[in-house]
Structure 1
């Protein structure tokens, strides 16, 4: 009986300490976003953005934000097992030098995005390839 309790305790500790896996951005189905003072917009053609979000270099820890995010984005990512979408909310701050900082508050992660992917992200958020008002 003690062995069973010890084994269950070890399994529980292992499950609790395992790191959060990042979403599979290839399963991104749509993206909603908004600038601080604007209506929520929706990007349906997310193919170009799948690679952009995969470029984020994540690390644990939450910074104290000195300013509000430039953009808040909600990513809808399909879960193959349940056939439902899981939502990930990222706050994006554009930095001097053309890079971006991405905050994932839910998982206490901060990410950095290089200059070229940031340019692609800004282009998508400018609705150059078309956006609609989110439902």
Structure 2
């Protein structure tokens, strides 16, 4: 099981829990907390937790169908670059792969910044 935060508490909703709208939270409480690429690459981060990353898109492969659990799923591999020119390989699946592939094709030559919230650190077929 992957956790989105290292916070020691979690909220559980029971059938009789009541939910209501509230005022917007301040922007600084949005929960986006990007990690350093080197922390992912050198294995110092606990891969039980999901991570946020932000980087410039340097390369992208063509979307391809890959069989996953008996069903074809779109996949693209991208390489992101951080502000220190550290490169991070990333694999995007399903609708995320389709979305980035379609949008990158509509803006050739543009600088694309990729923001990923709650990304899973995983080695797939020997690739991080």
Structure number with the higher helix fraction is: 1
TM-score with structure 1 length normalisation?
0.26
TM-score with structure 2 length normalisation?
0.27
